[in-house]
Amino acid sequence: MTRLLSDPVWESKIFDGEWVRGSADDRIVVEPATGKQLTTVGMATPDDVAAAATKATAAQKDWAARPYTERAAVLRRAGQLFEQYADEIGEWVIREAGSIPAKAGLETHTAAEECYNAAALAAHPVGEVLRSEQPRLSFSRRVPVGTVGVIAPFNFPIILSIRAVAPALALGNSVILKPDPRTAICGGVVLARIFEEAGLPAGVFSMLPGGADAGEAIVVHPSVRVIAFTGSTRAGRAVGELAGRHLKRAHLELGGNNALIVMDDVDLEKAASVGAFGSFMHQGQICMTTGRQLVHESIAADYTALLAEHADKLPVGDPFTGQVALGPIIDAKQRDHIHSLVNGSIAAGAKLAAGGTYEDLFYRPTVLADTPLTAPAFADEVFGPVAPVTSFATVEQAVAIANDSEYGLSLGILTSDAMRGLELAQQIPTGLVHINDQTVGDEAVIPFGGMASSGNGGRVGGIGANLDAFTETQWVTAQSALPVYPF
C-alpha cells in the first residue's frame, strides 16, 4: 500500500513546493515524548504569505465557478483519503502531538466527517426569493468571501484545521492555512497531501507553517477576507483587533476554564470517572477541558478521593511505544507553566491529593482538593492535566462560582435529574452545555463557539454556521424593462 507522506515528490515539496512554503530558517519537528527529531519544515515568511495569497486569489475564481458537484467530489474524496490513510496519519498525530492512539483515531474520524459534511454543504441552497414593492425579481444569494485564512493550534492539529478548511473550500473559497509549527506535519502537510490527492486545483489551498509574523501577514493581507482562528484568548484578542482594523470578519475560538458541576444525587464512582476524563484527556491540553470541578459539599470528600484514585492509576508515558492514558506535554515551556500554577495553588491553600510531579515532559494527572477560588489553577486556564476541586453548599452558590470567570466555552452538569440540570444550565452562559457528561465534546454537524473571553460568537460547524462564516450575502434584483425616473 502506498503511503501518503513517503513520496519523494512530497519530500521536495516540504520546503518550496506547491503546497508547503517556507523561505525562512528550517524548523526541527520534535517528538515531545522522546525529544527525537522527526523531520524539518521551512518556516514561512510574510513574503511567502503574499505569494500564496496572490495564487489563491487567481485560483479561487475558477474554483468557485466550477459546478458544485465537482467541489463536492473533491471533499468526498478527501474524506475517503482520511479514512484510507488513518493509520499513517494517526502515527504522526501520536508522535508529533503527543496523542494517545484513541485521540489520534478521533482526529482522523472527525476529519473524514468534516469533509463529508462539507461535500453536502456544497449542494445546499444558497439563496432565497425575497418580496419587493417593485415589479421585479428580488432574491438573496450566498457568494464566497474569496480567500479564507485559517490559523490553527497544536493540540487537535487536524480537527481544528479541517473544521474551517473543508467548509470554506466546499463553498468556493480558497484557503491559506497556518498550522502551529510544532505540529506542522499532522496539522498542515497531511491536509495539503490529502487535498492534492483528492484533486483540488493548484493554488486553491496553501499551507504555511510559520510564527507570529506569518500569522499577522495572513490577517492583514487584502486578499484574505475572513480569518478563522483557534488559540489562546491573549492571541485571539490581538487577531481580532488586527482584523477589525482591516474591516475583516474574524471567527475566534479561544480559551476556556470550564466548570463541571457535580450534584449530590450522582453515582460517585461514575461521576469521578467522568470528571477524570474531562480534566485529563490529552493531558488537559484542550480548550474544553474541565478546569474547575464544583462538587456538592456532602459528597466532596468522597468524590475527591475517588478522583485521586483514578488519577493515580492512569499510566503516563510515550503513546507511540506503550499503552498509556496520558502522553507528554507539548513542550517544556508549557510544562513549567502548568507546574507553576499547581505550586501556586498549593501555596494558596489547595491540598495536593494526587500528582503534582513530572519527569521530562510527562506530567502526572493532578488533583487539588479544597481549592480556594482564587488559587491560580482554579482561576486561570491551566491547559494541563490538573483537576482543581472545590465544594458548594447550594445551587445558587454553584451558579455564582461557575459564573465567576471571564470565559464561557463549555459546561458540564452531573445529576440524576436531567431537567434539574437543564434549569441549572440556563443560569450559566456558555457556548456548549452537556448534561450528565464532562465538558469535552464536539461534532462536525454542530455550531461550535464560546462566549465572553472564549470567543466572539463567530462559529463554525453545521450548515447555518458555516454559511455565515464563509460566505457573503448578496442582494440581486432583475426586471424586464428599464424604469423611468423623474431626472
Q: What is the layout of strands, in order, in the sheet containing 224-230?
A: 205-207, 174-178, 147-151, 224-230, 249-253
Q: Is 253 a catalytic residue?
A: yes
Out of 114, 115, 287, 381, the active site residue is 287
Measured CA to CA, the distance from residue 208 to residue 161 in angstroms comes to: 12
Q: Which cell goes with 230?
A: 483557534
Q: Is 115 a catalytic residue?
A: no
Measured CA to CA, the distance from residue 154 to residue 42 in angstroms comes to: 17
Q: How far is CA 285 from CA 131, 223, 337, in A?
A: 50, 33, 12
β-partners of residue 369 are 351
Residue where the block lists cell 473524514: 112
Q: What are phi and psi of 225, to 5 degrees?
A: -100, -20
Measured CA to CA, the distance from residue 373 to residue 434 in angstroms comes to: 23
Measured CA to CA, the distance from residue 5 to residue 89 in angstroms comes to: 9
3-class secondary-structure state, position 370: coil
Q: What angle do CA 127, 131, 137 make, to 5 degrees?
A: 70
Out of 133, 253, 309, 443, the active site residue is 253
Locate the DSSP E strands across 255-371. Answer: 258-262, 290-296, 351-354, 358-359, 362-363, 366-369
**Which positions are annotated as active-site residues?**
253, 287
